[in-house]
Amino acid sequence: MGNSGGKPTNKTGKRVVTQKLETAQKTNVLSLTEHGLEEIPGQVFQLTSLRTLDLSKNKIKNLGNISQLKELKSLNCDQNLLAARSLSSISNLPKLAILSLGKNRLENPANQSFPPLPPKVKTLKLHGNSFSSIPKQICDPKLPLEKLDLSCNNLACVPSEICNLAALTDLNLDKNAIVSLPNEMGQLKKLKALSLRNNYLTKSYPQPIPSSLFVDTLLIDLNLHGNDRLTSTDLNEFDGFDVFLERRKKKKDKSLHGGAMVDMSVCGLK
């Protein structure tokens, strides 16, 4: 028998979204990616035990009553139409650890509309939002942020307050307009990976990457590919870079002994 209604169905005869909602009651995992949604279905907010929610690639403009999902640990809202003022409800998600808001409309943080972040967020992805500056709420010293993705924005600088993120291990600043980093970056004692591909770093004085970043952190993965005005020779002349190289070499040697393939290029530079 065919489907005379013309609406997406599954083998039980119910709409796909309805079946996913029913399954989520058992699994506490729900993916509604690429469903053409302009708003979150009201039934979602009744799934009070939900742990993972994927709403990516829709047309959603606000998050409704999402603060009712007190057990939520992972929320993906990439590629929607969310503005910063529509995010206030996320502040009340006490267990949220992973939040992805890439490719929305969150720009212009200076208007103070960017909300406080959930208290337990460890991974935050804000790529592709046209930020010209980093919202101060992201640099809250109380946040346990470990991974931060601010790639594909319009950032020209990094605020000194970035040093407040004491737990940060991985920072992605690819495809911005950054010309230098603040000395305070050296206070990110746990930082291991920093990607600055396709920015505007150049040989200058003071050096655009402070020596404290090389010396005082755990940095072993640094990617500078696409900074065309900076060469590997320039980088080797930076204060503290030799300390970074020695630390990276020790780490890579251990990986080699374990049989891993390791990139020993000079941070992506020619």
pLDDT digits (tens, 9 = 90+) for 166-205: 999 999 999 999 999 999 999 999 999 999 999 999 999 9
- pTM here is 0.91
pLDDT digits (tens, 9 = 90+) for 207-242: 999 999 999 999 999 999 999 999 999 999 999 999
Flag whether pLDDT at 13 surpasses 50: no
How confident is residue 257, by pLDDT bands cut at 50, 70 and 90? low
What's the length of the chain? 270
Contacts of 21 (CB under 8 A, 6+ apart): 30, 41, 43, 44, 47
pLDDT digits (tens, 9 = 90+) for 125-156: 999 999 999 999 999 999 999 999 999 999 99
Among 121, 159, 162, 110, smallest CA distance to 141 is for 162
pLDDT digits (tens, 9 = 90+) for 160-171: 999 999 999 999
Q: For the chain, what is the mean pLDDT?
A: 91
Burial class (CB in 10 A: 0-12, 13-18, 19+), 260: exposed
